[in-house]
Chains A and B, each alone.
Chain A
Amino acid sequence: MDITGRLERFFSQRRIFFFAVVIALLAALPAFGFSRYIMRICIVISIYSMLTLALNLVAGYTGQLSMGNGGFYAIGAYTATLLMINAGLSFWSSLVVAAAFAGISGFLLGLPTLRLKGSYLTIVTLGFGEIVRMILMNWDTVTNGTLGVRNIPLPSLFGVSLSFTNHGLYYLALVLTALVSVFCALVINSKVGRAFIAIREDEIAAQMMGIKTVRYKVLAFVLSATISGIAGAFYAPMVGYIDPNSFTFDISSQIISMAILGGLGTMRGMYFGAAALIVFPEVSRFLMDYRFVIYGLILVLMMRFRPQGLLGWRTRLPYRFGKVLERQLAAEGSLPPLL
């Protein structure tokens, strides 16, 4: 067995322990007394983890490359902000409405465009991201145009405002990322996730197995848009100020770079990609303008030598039947032998 296979087995056998350690470390992070700058980077990493997990549903599992996820992120951010400021809604209700609204826009975009294939779809989604930004810029009466919206209130819970100082924002980011992660894992490990992957692997064969491919592609799009909307709705109060230029095409392309670097079609790769591409520009500040040359070089080298992404291997672990089923199979003598 090769090295990744061994590592996987090592971690898999102790997964509850490692899981607990990671959760404990993340929960205890504020106690280490890091600066506000470091904590902010951690929050940004978790926002981008949500965004890459969202992209992963569409591009990683379903195999439809969307370059418009920045648009859903913007819709989430603006919807939440305007609801909080103009309608006086709480952060929590705004978050729910923003997620729903982003999901609906995903549905409306997905319905006509998902009949397109490959690069045609990509171009349309790219256009969508730009259209969203143009609307935000020019619909002055609602979005305040290029001036943006300032003084976005912080979320508050039981009368306590969640800020950088009391680490409320950090914990909120953590909880949202955890919820999104669990959600993605539940979706992937069901017939829905299998249908997504089947569409990526061979759309015609998937259709011939009775999978309603357009419906599942639209579903993947809606889920992706909803999660991106949640990330946006959290981002706006975190920074306190948004304008249309916070949501340029750079966001969409950065999400894609992260997902590809980590390994599309895996969840581990999403956290890794987000962390790597957020931290890299920060630690390489001494390189000044050259850092984006290096950044580009890393991506090019990766595409050359590891196109599946750094953590993008297919798992060697056995398929999980679950205890009940394993007992049942063993009882009738048809428990499949491990590889």
Chain B
Amino acid sequence: MPLLHIKDISLSFGGLKAVDSVNIRVDEGEIVSLIGPNGAGKTTVFNILTGIYTVDSGEIFFEGNAIQNKIPQDIVEAGIARTFQNIRLFRNMRVIENVLIGSHIREPYNFFQAVFRTRRFRDSERENTLKAVRLLREVGLLARTHDYAANLPYGEQRKLEIARALATGAKLILLDEPAAGMNPQESEELLRFILSLRGRGYTILMIEHDMSVVMNISDRIYVLDYGKLISEGLPRQVANDPKVIEAYLGGVPDAAENNRA
């Protein structure tokens, strides 16, 4: 059974078919990339997966349970967490607090237990904070624990965003263009970081434009263009697929025109 199975999902915005009968499967422990030209519908797929949009048709299974059209909170609890194309950290909160927001859903105490500082509150806070610090150490942000998120350099903000997603206890991490805006060294480091995540048992579905990242770490690649899957397979297969080359570089003029009509 695949960890995530997207079956034939479609979504239209008015007359525009943003996502058109897309099928994706991600097995446990894989790094799967979703690529495609700008406006191909990649982020829309992510937004459907995380409950921002509801699908017109199709089904999504996560660990065998249908999760399409659920609210974002239920999807996080099911075990899917994401990062954003344009970093969305809680900028005026500390690094540790950002991670603690990630573990919000793993805090089993209620409002009154918090106000009266019951044992359950103290135990849960201590345990979660301990886990948060360990997580920060693992991702290499321990020295930044006390700092505010806004003060971090770009690469570390990306890492913190991923750490925050990990803190939710998710099994599947959705990364939306993690290497965007990074220089070659930074994306090289990010690449190693993502591989290390797989080493720790996480499954990753990512959108990425940086081909050096995509080709180097993906187990499999899906290519989306105008809302439709045009190719899928191993990195090498996809890189040599004429349809992919055409979508990215444009093919024979007529053929390209027919496609876009």
Contacts and interface: CB of A to CB of B under 8 A. Distances in A.
Contacts of A206: 90, 101
A210 B136 contact: no
A296 B2 CA distance: 64
A328 B125 CA distance: 14
B107 A191 contact: yes
Nearest to A191: B107
Interface string A232-253: 0000000000000000000000
Contact of B73 (A190, A210, A219, A314): A210
**Which of the four size classes fits the interface of chain A?**
35 or more
Contact of B133 (A190, A198, A336, A339): A336
A192 B84 CA distance: 24
A205 B133 CA distance: 21
A325 B130 contact: yes
A192 B72 CA distance: 19
Contacts of B148: 314
B50 A208 contact: yes
B164 to A, nearest CB: 7
A318 B146 contact: yes
A236 B52 CA distance: 47
Contacts of A211: 73, 101, 104-105
Given A314-B92, A325-B130, A190 B114 contact: yes
Contacts of A208: 50, 72, 76, 81-82, 84
A319 B146 contact: yes
Contacts of A328: 130
Nearest to B100: A194
Interface in B82-140: 82, 84, 88-94, 96-97, 100-102, 104-105, 107, 109, 111, 114-115, 117, 121, 125-126, 129-130, 133-134, 136-137
B145 interface: yes
A337 interface: yes
Nearest to A333: B137
A209 B168 contact: yes
Nearest to B82: A208
Nearest 7 A/B pairs, CB to CB: A336-B145, A210-B76, A190-B114, A201-B90, A210-B105, A205-B88, A191-B107
Interface of B: 50, 52, 72-73, 76-77, 81-82, 84, 88-94, 96-97, 100-102, 104-105, 107, 109, 111, 114-115, 117, 121, 125-126, 129-130, 133-134, 136-137, 142-143, 145-148, 164, 168
24 contacts: A190-B115, A190-B125, A191-B114, A192-B111, A194-B93, A194-B100, A198-B93, A202-B91, A205-B84, A206-B90, A209-B104, A209-B164, A210-B76, A210-B105, A211-B105, A314-B148, A318-B146, A319-B145, A321-B133, A322-B126, A325-B126, A336-B133, A336-B143, A337-B145
Interface of A: 183, 186-187, 190-192, 194-195, 197-198, 201-202, 204-212, 219, 314, 318-319, 321-322, 324-325, 328-329, 334, 336-339
